[in-house]
Amino acid sequence: MTAAGPLADSFGRVMRDVRISVTDRCNFRCMYCLPETEEAANFYRTKFDHAKNPAPATLIAREWKPRSQLLTFEEIERVMRILVSLGIEKVRVTGGEPLLRHGLETLIAKLARIEGVRDLAMTTNGFLFPQKAEALRAAGLRRISFSLDSLEPANFKKMTGRDGLREVLAGIALAKRLGLAPVKVNAVVIRGINDHELEALAGFARREDLSFRFIEFMPLDSGRVWLKELVVPGREILQRLQARYELKPVLSQNVAETARRWSFSDGRGEIGIIAPVTEPFCGHCNRLRLTADGKIRTCLFSLTEHDLKPLLRGGANDEQIADKLRCIVWQKEERHHIGEPDFVQPERTMSCIGG
């Protein structure tokens, strides 16, 4: 095993957090990620200025990576052991939808046994969670985040392409009963789709004693139909919630935390706002991403991916892989360029990157 040491970029940021995508497949078709339903296409068509910025006639379905190109659990474990030796402490398993990866609890158990992993979590849409919950908890999963963009059944189906609200709510309740803590819930807010539910979603967080995160709509969708006009700024979200609820700021010791947080006055639950579009937090970013097919991304909006598979499958030793990782991290971008004239949307979507 390679010697421990900091994994730092050229701007002095030290990496402590990694997101691991275990599959690019998903059983939802969310409007902000894989907007491949006709309902999503119709919504976006109405939002475009057809003369200046015509919407696509149809939204193209994605082609998934062959399973042979995906990292095995053993390869993921090896990369993680090397990353932890270089200072990574927090690990989050993502997708696509991670619960679509067969035997995921086996990987969770492998990651949980790595000495130095301080925090092991997973992000899921929750649809399959009730089937896997107990096995994942027994394997060592400590925290979980669910995606829940709407509490209205019809709107939930419109946003996700699936009639699955009941299953997601059941998954959240089960995670609480199993002692996963804190249980976090994320909602991507899109103007004209679910922004009318802000207060109701916050009320759900308070009622169920959850950590709820409102996330600005980002340009990572497969249809490339993101519009700045559809972003509800974090400050607007906060103003509306403060008008309804008495909120107290939550001070964090973690300068790299992406959410600004507030607790409810009665101490039940909290809300957080993640505003990467209008209030970027790139200056404190300490996160890397490992895609399901073995590529390191240093930013959600990276235009370059660094492939580890040739080393993993070509006989490289751990020190060679560690050196490669140091080199990759040194090249980490200073910031993203959303909203700027030179911004270029990444080729791969959130489902392929590992949010």
Asked if 23 and 70 touch (Cβ cutoff 8 Å), the reply is yes
Give me the numbers of helices (H) and strands (E) for the chain, helices first please. 11, 12
Burial 286-320 (b: 16+ CB within 10 A, else e): bbbbbbbbbbbbbbbbbeebbebeebbeeeeeeee
Q: What is the DSSP letter of 14?
A: B
Q: What percent of the chain has pLDDT over 90?
A: 71
Residues of the chain where predicted confidence (pLDDT) is lower than 70: 1-5, 35-64, 220-225, 337, 340, 343, 346, 349-351, 354-355
Residue carrying the six token digits 């308070």: 206
Burial 179-206 (b: 16+ CB within 10 A, else e): ebebbbbbbbbbbebbbebbeebbbbbb
Query: What backbone torsions phi and psi does residue 177 show, to the nearest 5 degrees?
Result: -65, -30
Instruction: Report pLDDT for 258.
Output: 87
The residue extents of the domains of the chain are: 17-353
What was the pLDDT predicted at 57? Answer: 44
Residue with tokens 């997601």: 168
Q: 307: Cβ–Cβ under 8 A, 6 or more apart, which residues?
A: 294, 295
pLDDT value of residue 1: 47
Work out the burial of residue 228: count CB atoms within 10 Å of its CB; fewer than 13 is exposed, 13-18 middle, 19 or more buried: exposed
Query: Tell me, what's the pLDDT at 39?
Result: 67
The Cα–Cα gap between 233 and 245 comes to 19
**pLDDT tens string 211-256:** 999 999 987 666 666 788 999 999 999 999 999 999 999 988 787 7
Q: Which residues contact 341 (CB under 8 A, 6 or more apart)?
A: none
The reply to whether CATH 3.40.50.720 applies to domain 17-353 is no
Q: How far apart are CA 211 and CA 272, in angstroms?
A: 7
